Amino acid sequence: MLNTKQLAVPQHIGFIMDGNRRWAKERGLHTLEGHRRGYDNIKKVLQWCIDRGVKVVTVYAFSTENWNRPKNEVKYLMRLLAWAFKKELIDLQKKNVKVNFFGRLEGLPKNVQKELLVLLEKTKYNTKAVLNLAINYGGRAEILDAIKKLMKKSAEAFQLTELNFRNFLYNSSVPDPDLIIRTSGEQRLSGFLLWEAAYAELYFTKRKWPEFSEKDLDVAIEDFAQRKRNFGA
């Protein structure tokens, strides 16, 4: 494992988990198997991050645009989410990990909402690390939803600042990401944390999400540690 004692370890890492379908296709497997393997890797990556002192992990699990995928794929992903929320509760409790939700809850199937809300409630007092699940999420949707909330508080609008605008985002208590890692070779944010990622360091790897390894994480953290962050100063 990477010796992080002498490195500036990012406290919040966001993951754009790209490449599940391509990984499966390259191996002659069904697309859905790629998503299952991708789910398995989330658990590993979360633990690797915790082991290295990362306090917050955000995963882009399902975007607002993903509803346009084939119906059987979307149906499978929703079943996988509901199953995972229930299955992983005990392990997340043992790890002392708090789970947050980023996205539009009302757009999810009722069974997914039910299991997700239980997961959020049961883990809300955990303190070791935070796992943010971006599901039915889009950066533009988040900003639009924040503006809609803001419009209901017109008296505050005249004193609007970047700082208090955060209060209208999906979760204002979560610090901005220090590092965003996207797998599978694409070099764009695809709507991920558009407001929060203003000064995040970006790292792109050709490794597809199901094959993203502990070594790959260490390389990304080492790369991050070499960068000079001045936040526009």
> Residues with catalytic annotation?
18, 66
Instruction: Return all residues near 52 (Cβ < 8 A) that are at least 6 apart.
Output: 1, 2, 4, 9, 217, 218, 221
3-state SS assignment for residue 81? helix
- Tell me the CA distances in angstroms from 30 to 23, 25, 65, 130, one per residue in order: 10, 7, 21, 32
The interaxial angle of helices 110-123 and 71-87, nearest 10 deg, is 30
DSSP string, 119-147: HHHHHTT--SEEEEEEEEE-HHHHHHHHH
DSSP string, 26-60: HTT--HHHHHHHHHHHHHHHHHHHHHTT--EEEEE
Phi first, then psi: what are they for 226, rounded to 5°?
Answer: -85, -10
